[in-house]
Amino acid sequence: MLERLHRGPLVPERDWLPFRPFAPRPGRLGVVIEPLHPALREQLSVPDGQGVLVREVVPDSPAAKVGIKPHDILLEIAGKPVPAEPNAFVRMVAELPAGKAGQVVVLRKGKKETLGELELPELPRRSLVPDLRLPPGKLPPGGIWLHVERSADGSFIVQYRESGQTIRIEGHEAQGKAQVSQIEITEGRETRTYKSLDDVPAQLREKVSKLLDSALKGQFFVPERSPKRFD
């Protein structure tokens, strides 16, 4: 479900570490989506809170087989409105039953079209956004660990660890920008969760921002060490 981009210990003396990404693995539906621009929503009279734009369709995926095409606006799946928020859309697809999941309604060239019956595979046993745990004893003295995963539907996870600190970021990429759904920072035995970058303590915000940016650019910034405790 998720594309693993990098996992392993990094050397803190280097500022940037290039990587060679793995081949993409499609998500359950097989589309890359992005939010509708407000002007496009108004022009096409798409209801607020509904619909996402299909940017790409993975060949031979459930989306391709049912007839979804790039530039379609997904409006309904199985009789339910498609949420406009990308993370909510990902959750919606994850909750659909395997097998015949229902019909798909799209807006194509300004006209609403009902496609065929969508058939979905079983969800993998692991969750859509897995809980990544680092192997014990694998972190070298003075080193750090960075793990990035991305899916074809735009979801991503960034997990960074150094001695005494772990940062985990979950979100969705749309229009080349990262939309964060959750940031979890653990220092010592204390874990705090934030819903946006602005909520992160000031002394950690730049570090989290650069880690987030690295997930989209395919280069991994190795931040300077942070204080071990929150303000």
Residues 131 and 116 in one domain: no
Domain of residue 99, CATH code: 2.30.42.10
The pLDDT assigned to 135 comes to 45
In a domain, 107, yes or no: yes
> Using one digit for the tens of pLDDT, what is the confidence trace for 166-189?
899 988 876 667 788 899 999 888
> Using one digit for the tens of pLDDT, what is the confidence trace for 17-38?
333 333 334 468 888 888 899 9
147/138 Cα distance (integer angstroms): 13
Confidence of residue 217 (pLDDT cuts 50, 70, 90): low
Percent of the chain with pLDDT over 90: 33
Phi/psi of residue 204, nearest 5 degrees: -110, -10
Residues 44 and 94 in one domain: yes
Residues 138 and 173 in one domain: yes
H/E segment holding residue 112: strand 111-120
- Give the chain's domain count: 2
Q: Residues 44, 68, 118, 149: is their CA dihedral positive or negative?
A: negative
In a domain, 203, yes or no: yes
In a domain, 227, yes or no: no
In a domain, 85, yes or no: yes
Residues 144 and 180 in one domain: yes
Model confidence at 143: pLDDT above 70: no
Residues 49 and 7 in one domain: no
Is this structure's pTM higher than 0.95? no
- Domain final residue pick, 77, 101, 120: 120
Long-range contacts of 190-199 (CB under 8 A, 24+ apart): 190/229, 190/230, 192/230
Residues 116 and 183 in one domain: no
In a domain, 88, yes or no: yes
Range of the domain at 49: 31-120
In a domain, 162, yes or no: yes
Residues 199 and 216 in one domain: yes
In a domain, 228, yes or no: no
- Domain final residue pick, 120, 151, 167: 120
Residues 77 and 153 in one domain: no
- Domain final residue pick, 120, 153, 184: 120
Going by C-alpha positions, the residue among 167, 156, 134, 172 that lies closest to residue 1 is: 156
In a domain, 46, yes or no: yes
Residues 40 and 12 in one domain: no
